[in-house]
Amino acid sequence: MKHTLPASSGLSKFIIFSVFLWLVLLWLQSTYIVIIGGQAYLFWTSFGLLILNLLSLRSSILKNRIALAITALLLLYLGFHSLFCTYLIIAFYCIFYLYAGEYKHKRAIKLISLFLIMIIFAIYQSQSLHELKSHYANYETGETWQKYGAL
């Protein structure tokens, strides 16, 4: 998040930490969804967003090329599995790597866009979790692990 807020401000550090924490939580939730039988593309999307966010902290030519390679690999994988997640990765890459020029309200636009991407992805993950719960509700046997376990 190179162009969000001045690096010296306390608010900037708080925002960067909260974005990182939220992306880690999205990654953990997607890991949980995959473990209980969900789709693996959720894991790779959240992991990709986390890695791209880390690469955008201190931007350099090498990190930009690594980000481009990671984005290309994710888009290739997601193109066959989830069109929705493909759009999220493209949006994230465009916001943080392609529009690096100076323009008015750049910090606010990037932060608002990032939070919108994370909110949309969190809603999408919650919907996937509810679909898994409804799928496994058909196999309810009343066992303890079903009452207090993963689902």
Predicted confidence band of residue 101 (pLDDT cuts 50, 70, 90): low
Lookup: tokens for 73: 């690999």
Residue 9 CB-density burial (10 A; 0-12 exposed, 13-18 middle, 19+ buried): exposed
Name the one residue in this structure whose structure tokens are 């201190």: 58
Residue 114 has pLDDT above 70, yes or no: yes
Do residues 31 and 72 touch, judged by C-beta distance below 8 A? Answer: no
Residues 45-91 have pLDDT tens digits of: 888 888 888 887 777 778 778 888 888 888 888 778 777 777 777 77
- C-alpha closest to that of 31 among 21, 22, 41: 41
The pTM score is 0.73
